[in-house]
């Protein structure tokens, strides 16, 4: 196991290097290169040339790449074209909000989907099962961005009779200029979480349902029942544990998709996370920031996958990543 | 079932019915509770897209500045947008673009994925390792970030295939969506290439190309079809999403995504404009998902086998 983890950790820098080379080359091959942002204003050719020289854009491309890479290894990803602040600090400041949104949504999604999926499996073909299956198909087909808009519409239609305002705020992570309270944070979280999480609950509840149905018909469940183990313990302890386990791998595979959903959610709800930040940098043609976000996300996704592999091996003792010595 | 059959004798037990493969698949397909819904919905949506020129009541780009933001009425069933353009007409024409982007992008992705998966699975070894690492990479990196980055680069380079970014978006979606098909095809190839009929074909002197195209690929058609159907749904979602972010189909050309984006900017005042484009995306993706599900059940070899045995 340790050797497996070490090998995976060793692969990480190689992948990162490749990603950064591809992104860097792509950026340089584009006409105008990194200076494209200046090309739309009326900057004189002499000034442009001065900037080119200052940034060393006339040097050979591998020299330029090294000039990006060497400081990058020390945590210096350059400066944002638009804010002039260090990229790393700017990106890291956005990692927190994204993790907060994705992490809390994820926790709720897991609990809900395991409960709903198990319920559906236990009551297979009941009216409740059919109803939830129908809903979950709908949820899986619902675009995050449209669901977000619909939630905003519904929210704005339901007014608090005391204040005449909607119950929930729809922008940002907290009310600005007010000392942070738990209440404020939670009320800002509800709608983005619902928009981001609905589709995932739909997918995973279906997954848990079918995996639970597989497990329920296995011999060890019959044995447990035959031994006289109470039904609720059979379901929750014996069956559910085994049915929910494969979810870890599924979740790890889906992690990148969740980033995508988070990007739309963040844009619609003005959430100050990485997706929103990346989108802004694309709109503003802020190329050091784009590079920075891509590198940071690559690191996060790879670490997430590694974590899932380790967790899975820990949870399921049958999983071994190394060749067994005979 | 001849007219002269004796009453009370069930003809189908006397003479075993010869059911074709297609017949079995169709019967399995219909058994899925939502298969009919999916087919009818898709027929309507696709029909409306194909006939957009005929059935759209107005020109989708015709401005009517005196009638901006008019709510749904008999004159404008879905209302009008910020430039007085008829929403129904725009949604019909947008559907044409969204659907064709979805189908085209997925066709390209399936072709690329099949080629890569076939090469990896058939030849194995180093080819397999390199191609599958590439697929892993694309699978682990969040697609939307790559898409935005690629769209940005294409726009920056002022490369445009066809009008309104249509070709660009097909290209970037195909470039980032081939991995699932590639994996499926690879697994089929790994399984099938050890089969005896392949060894037999090889012993007759069949070359790699012949083995891949004639003997192995047709056997992998089922999973490819299912993944492709789901893929069209995904591609429509991606196209709409990118257009919603302003990096997909460029106005004035309409797509469901950029109509929704337009509506998003004025949502506080004219909320109904967000309803229809989003609903069209939703219902189309839903129908395609159901279709994929029904196809998967219908093409499941175990179910087909039990249907034959019965």
A302 touches chain B (CB under 8 A): yes
Q: Is A325 helix (H, G, I), strand (E, B) or coil?
A: coil
Candidate from B149, B264, B271 with C-beta closest to A290: B149
Q: Which tops the pLDDT comparison, A102 or A306?
A: A102
Give the pLDDT of residue A159.
81
CB count, 10 Å around CB of A29? 12
Residue B188 CA to residue B196 CA, distance in Å, equals 15
Which tens digits make up the pLDDT trace of B128-171? Answer: 888 988 888 888 788 888 888 888 888 777 776 666 678 888 98
Query: pTM here?
Result: 0.85
What phi, psi does A79 have (nearest 5°)? -120, 145
The encoded tokens of residue A21 equal 């080379």
Q: Which of B88, B82, B31, B32 is nearest to B59 (CA)?
A: B88
CB contact under 8 A, A256 and B289: no
Mean pLDDT of all residues in B116-120: 91
Residues in B closer than 8 angstroms to A267, CB to CB, are: 245
Residue B253 CA to residue B163 CA, distance in Å, equals 9
Superfamily of domain A2-30+77-315, CATH level 4: MetI-like (1.10.3720.10)
Give the pLDDT of residue B193.
80
Mean pLDDT of all residues in B260-281: 86
CB contact under 8 A, B153 and A27: yes
Q: Are B280 and B48 in contact (CB under 8 A)?
A: no
Residue A61 CA to residue A51 CA, distance in Å, equals 17
Q: Are B239 and B248 in contact (CB under 8 A)?
A: yes
Give the pLDDT of residue A326.
42
What phi, psi does B86 have (nearest 5°)? -70, 120
Q: Which of A197, A188, A240 is nearest to A109 (CA)?
A: A197
Candidate from A152, A263, A301 with C-beta closest to B141: A301
Mean pLDDT of all residues in A7-14: 80
Give the pLDDT of residue B164.
65
First to last CA, chain A: 16
The encoded tokens of residue B200 equal 């037999």
The percentage of residues in chain B with a pLDDT greater than 70, rounded to a whole number, is 89
Q: Which of A209, A240, A211, A208 is nearest to A224 (CA)?
A: A240
Residue A263 CA to residue A101 CA, distance in Å, equals 11
CA distances from A151 to A72, A190, A193, B82, B129 (A): 41, 10, 11, 23, 45
The dihedral through the CA atoms of A152, A145, A248, A241 has a sign that is positive
Exposed/middle/buried for residue A322 (C-beta within 10 Å: 0-12, 13-18, 19+): exposed
Exposed/middle/buried for residue B117 (C-beta within 10 Å: 0-12, 13-18, 19+): buried
Looking at residue A86, what DSSP letter applies? B
Q: Which tops the pLDDT comparison, A127 or A248?
A: A127
A16 pLDDT higher than 50: yes
Q: Which tops the pLDDT comparison, A46 or A136?
A: A136
Rounded to the nearest 10°, the torsion over CA B242, B246, B247, B249 is 80
Q: Is A245 helix (H, G, I), strand (E, B) or coil?
A: coil
Give the pLDDT of residue B113.
93
pLDDT band at B1 (very low <50, low <70, confident <90, very high): very low
Q: Which of A301, A298, A297, A285 is nearest to A94 (CA)?
A: A297
pLDDT band at A249 (very low <50, low <70, confident <90, very high): confident
| Share of chain A residues as helix, strand and coil, in percent rounded to the nearest 5 | 75, 0, 25
Taking CA–CA distances from A28, the nearest residue in chain B reads: B153
Residue bearing tokens 């340089």: A28
The encoded tokens of residue A268 equal 């619609």
First to last CA, chain B: 20
Q: Which of A122, A153, A147, A149 is nearest to A135 (CA)?
A: A147
pLDDT band at A40 (very low <50, low <70, confident <90, very high): low
Q: Which of B143, B145, B271 has the most A C-beta neighbours within 10 Å, making it the best mutation to test the interface with A?
A: B145
Greatest C-alpha distance within chain A = 87
Q: Are B225 and B211 in contact (CB under 8 A)?
A: no
Q: Are B212 and B122 in contact (CB under 8 A)?
A: yes
Q: How many helices (H) and strands (E) does chain A have?
A: 14, 0
What's the angle, vertex CA A72, arms to CA A70 and CA A74, rounded to 5?
80
Q: Which of B33, B91, B138, B156 has the most A C-beta neighbours within 10 Å, making it the best mutation to test the interface with A?
A: B156
Axis crossing angle, helix B179-192 with helix B221-244, rounded to the nearest 10 = 170
Candidate from B140, B143, B157 with C-beta closest to A302: B140
Candidate from B149, B152, B241 with C-beta closest to A145: B241
Greatest C-alpha distance within chain B = 78
Domain boundaries, chain A: 2-30+77-315
Which tens digits make up the pLDDT trace of A208-225? Answer: 998 888 888 888 888 888
CA distances from A228 to A7, A214, A239, A241, A242 (A): 46, 21, 15, 19, 20
| Share of chain B residues as helix, strand and coil, in percent rounded to the nearest 5 | 75, 0, 25
Residue B56 CA to residue B49 CA, distance in Å, equals 10
pLDDT band at A182 (very low <50, low <70, confident <90, very high): confident
Q: Is A77 helix (H, G, I), strand (E, B) or coil?
A: coil
ipTM of predicted complex: 0.83
Distance from CA of A158 to the nearest CA of B (A): 14
B156 touches chain A (CB under 8 A): yes
Q: Are B92 and B60 in contact (CB under 8 A)?
A: yes
Q: What is the mean pLDDT of chain A?
A: 83
Q: Are B52 and B96 in contact (CB under 8 A)?
A: yes
Looking at residue A236, what DSSP letter applies? I
Number of A/B CB contacts below 8 angstroms equals: 111
Q: Which tops the pLDDT comparison, B214 or B12?
A: B214
Q: Is A79 helix (H, G, I), strand (E, B) or coil?
A: strand
Buried b (16+ CB within 10 A) or exposed e, A191-228: bbbbbbbbbbbbbbbbbbbebbbebbeeeebeebeeee
A32 touches chain B (CB under 8 A): yes
CB contact under 8 A, B244 and A264: yes
Q: Which of B211, B205, B218, B134 is nearest to B176 (CA)?
A: B134
Which tens digits make up the pLDDT trace of B62-106? Answer: 777 777 777 777 777 777 777 778 888 888 888 999 999 999 999
Which tens digits make up the pLDDT trace of A266-285? Answer: 999 999 999 999 999 888 88
Helices (H), chain B: 11-14, 21-31, 35-50, 52-55, 87-123, 125-140, 143-156, 166-176, 179-192, 196-203, 208-210, 221-244, 256-265, 275-299, 301-309
């Amino acid at each position: 196991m340790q050797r497996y983890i070490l090998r995976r950790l060793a692969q990480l820098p190689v992948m990162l290097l490749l990603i950064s080379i591809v992104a860097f080359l792509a950026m340089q091959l584009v006409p105008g290169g990194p200076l494209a942002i200046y090309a739309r204003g009326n900057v004189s050719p002499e000034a442009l040339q001065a900037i080119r020289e200052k940034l060393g854009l006339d040097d050979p491309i591998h020299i330029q790449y090294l000039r990006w890479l060497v400081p990058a290894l020390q945590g210096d990803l350059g400066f944002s074209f638009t804010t002039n602040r260090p990229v790393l600090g700017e990106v890291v400041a956005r990692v927190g909000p994204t993790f907060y949104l994705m992490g809390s949504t994820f926790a709720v999604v897991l609990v809900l989907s395991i409960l709903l999926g198990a319920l559906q499996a236990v009551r297979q073909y009941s009216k409740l099962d059919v109803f939830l299956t129908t809903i979950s198909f709908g949820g899986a087909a619902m675009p995050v961005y449209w669901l977000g808009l619909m939630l905003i519409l519904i929210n704005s239609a339901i007014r608090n009779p005391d204040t005449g305002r909607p119950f929930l705020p729809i922008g940002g992570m907290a009310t600005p200029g007010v000392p942070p309270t738990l209440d404020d944070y939670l009320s800002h979280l509800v709608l983005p979480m619902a928009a981001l999480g609905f589709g995932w609950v739909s997918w995973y509840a279906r997954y848990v349902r079918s995996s639970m149905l597989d497990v329920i018909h296995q011999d060890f469940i019959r044995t447990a029942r035959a031994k006289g183990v109470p039904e609720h313990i059979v379901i929750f302890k014996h069956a559910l544990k085994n049915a929910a386990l494969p979810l870890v791998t599924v979740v790890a595979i889906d992690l990148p998709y969740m980033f995508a959903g988070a990007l739309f959610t963040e844009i619609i709800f003005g959430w100050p996370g990485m997706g929103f930040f990346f989108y802004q940098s694309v709109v503003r043609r802020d190329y050091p920031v784009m590079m920075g976000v891509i590198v940071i996300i690559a690191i996060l996704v790879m670490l997430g996958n590694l974590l899932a592999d380790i967790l899975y091996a820990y949870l399921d003792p049958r999983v071994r990543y190394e060749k067994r010595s005979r | 079932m001849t007219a002269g059959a004796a009453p009370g004798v069930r003809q189908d037990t006397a003479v075993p019915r010869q059911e074709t493969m297609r017949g079995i698949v169709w019967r399995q397909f219909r058994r899925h509770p939502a298969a009919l819904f999916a087919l009818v919905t898709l027929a309507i949506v696709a029909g409306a897209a194909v006939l957009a020129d005929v059935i759209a009541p107005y020109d989708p780009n015709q401005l009517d500045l005196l009638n901006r933001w008019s709510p749904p009425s008999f004159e404008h069933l879905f209302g009008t947008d910020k430039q007085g353009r008829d929403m129904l007409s725009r949604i019909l024409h947008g559907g044409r673009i969204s659907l064709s982007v979805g189908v085209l992008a997925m066709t390209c992705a399936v072709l690329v994925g099949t080629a890569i998966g076939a090469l990896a699975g058939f030849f194995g070894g180093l080819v397999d390792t390199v191609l599958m690492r590439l697929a892993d990479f694309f699978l682990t990196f969040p697609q939307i970030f790559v898409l935005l980055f690629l769209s940005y680069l294409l726009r920056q380079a002022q490369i445009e295939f066809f009008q309104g970014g249509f070709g660009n978006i097909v290209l970037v979606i195909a470039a980032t969506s081939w991995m699932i098909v590639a994996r499926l095809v690879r697994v089929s190839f790994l399984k099938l290439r050890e089969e005896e009929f392949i060894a037999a074909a090889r012993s007759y002197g069949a070359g790699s190309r012949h083995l891949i195209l004639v003997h192995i690929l047709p056997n992998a058609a089922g999973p490819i079809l299912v993944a492709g159907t789901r893929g069209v749904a995904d591609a429509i979602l991606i196209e709409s999403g990118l257009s919603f972010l302003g990096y997909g189909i460029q106005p004035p050309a309409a797509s469901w995504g950029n109509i929704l984006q337009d509506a998003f900017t004025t949502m506080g005042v004219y909320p109904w404009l967000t309803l229809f484009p989003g609903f069209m995306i939703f219902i189309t993706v839903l129908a395609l998902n159901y279709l994929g599900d029904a196809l998967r059940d219908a093409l499941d070899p175990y179910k087909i086998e039990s249907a034959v045995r019965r």
